[in-house]
Chains A and B, each alone.
Chain A
């Protein structure tokens, strides 16, 4: 399973990254969350907003961050 947080390095992006890391550890998953700040990667996914939460290459949250429960749910749904 590949979990990535892509962002321009803004405060919201960092927040999403931290919440996602927490969600992954609370779910007891053995996966690293990658934090990517290469904007071309976001653009290549067809997106123009940051932050992006992508699971196995698929964007599941775009342009804003959410609470930990929602992120846990997204991770579970897209395993």
Chain B
């Protein structure tokens, strides 16, 4: 029995009893799907984002930096990628994180591992993956995200591209051992609650629209309709998905529910995973902001390596799944 079974019962009751829509009709199916998915996603969101925020209140970026500046090259990349999971990432924190890491002596490659993992493996994407695709796909996404961020960082570290970072970044150096104001248990809970509400306020409309269109597709578009355009035998599908994903970052929350409906209609799983990774990891606004601290050439190198990693992952999953 699925852990979502009680939610299913609630959704059935709301659709067929409260709204009195006839079961086994296209409308009934679409409405039921819409209610069920929304309940499931919003409950998951609240629980998971709240839990991650509590963990994060014990492990803020300032502490992560101390952990990372003592690591050697490869363990540093691995630790940075893992720590990236619990760190929320909005493009507004890209600059302070980048400056703070580099100026406290964290190697460039390690910093990039963090910069890749942090937005790619974020709690919102995980909730949506878990809710719409199940834990296997969610785990696959985390594992491949980690591998991509570890290797992107190692490769960038090996390329010795420190000269492509704006000179002012290396001119300042800071002591990374800072003491943060203490937080009480109540403050952590308030912080986690506010953060969760904040995120929900920001994304609920996108999710509602995403699930709404998804429900319509689920109910009205014939199964396998998209297989002829985006099935696993279409060589261009993954690359195209990665390209389309780049400008979609801010709407990730709405796009993922939509994507799950597309998968149901025949888009191959590897293509879907690559598309979601591209949405979260390759973000146009973040690239624009990073221009303040690095040369455009380095942004291209960074984006190119990550895009290549995502594309390869997509083809790999299409071949084996």
- List residues of B whose CB falls within 8 A of some A CB: 60-62, 65, 92-93, 95-97, 99-101, 103-104, 172, 174-178, 180-181, 187, 190-191, 194-195, 198
In the docked arrangement, what's the CA distance between A23 and B62, Å? 28
Q: With contacts A47-B62, A63-B60 known, is A8 near B178, CB below 8 A?
A: no
Of the residues B92, B96, B187, B198, contact of A43 by C-beta under 8 Å: B96
| Interface assignment of A27: CB less than 8 Å from any CB of chain B | no
Tell me if A1 counts as interface (CB < 8 A to partner B): no
Main secondary structure of the interface of B (DSSP, over half): helix
* Cβ-Cβ contact count across A and B, 8 Å cutoff: 67
> In whole angstroms, what is the CA distance A12 to B96 when docked?
16
Within 8 A of B (CB), among A34-66: 39-40, 42-50, 59-66
CB neighbours (8 Å) of A45 from chain B are 178
- In the bound complex, how far is the Cα of B88 from the Cα of A47, in angstroms? 16
7 A-B residue pairs with Cβ-Cβ distance under 8 Å, sorted by A, are A39-B99, A43-B96, A43-B103, A46-B175, A48-B93, A49-B61, A63-B60
Considering the complex, which residues of chain A in the window 5-40 have a beta carbon less than 8 Å from any beta carbon of chain B? 8-10, 12, 39-40
Q: Is A46 in contact with B61, judged by CB distance below 8 angstroms?
A: no
Q: Is the Cβ of A48 less than 8 Å from the Cβ of B174?
A: no
Q: How far is the CA of A77 from the CA of B191 in the complex (A)?
A: 21
A2 CB to nearest B CB, Å: 17
> B176 touches which one: A12, A46, A61, A65 (CB < 8 A)?
A46
A62 touching B181, Cβ below 8 Å: yes
A71 to chain B, nearest CB (A): 12
B65 near A48 with CB under 8 A, answer: yes
Which 10 interchain pairs have the tightest Cβ spacing?
A46-B178, A48-B100, A48-B61, A43-B99, A48-B96, A43-B100, A8-B92, A10-B92, A60-B181, A48-B97
CA distance A62 to B191 in the complex (A): 11
Instruction: Give the size of the chain A interface in residues (CB under 8 angstroms).
Output: 23
Q: Which residue of B lies closest to A42 (CB)?
A: B96
* Shortest CB distance B165–A (Å): 14
- Supposing A43-B174, A44-B174, A63-B60 touch, asked if A49 and B181 sit within 8 A by C-beta, the answer is no
Are B95 and A8 within 8 A (Cβ)?
yes
**In the complex, how many angstroms separate the beta carbon of B236 from the nearest chain A beta carbon?**
39
Nearest-CB distance from B262 to chain A (Å)?
Answer: 33
Q: Please measure, in the bound complex, the distance between the C-alpha atom of A54 and the C-alpha atom of B104, giving whole angstroms.
A: 21
Check A46/B174 contact, CB under 8 A, given A59-B180, A59-B181, A62-B181. yes
Nearest chain A CB to B267's CB is how many angstroms away?
35
> How many angstroms from the CA of A57 to the CA of B99 in the assembled complex?
20
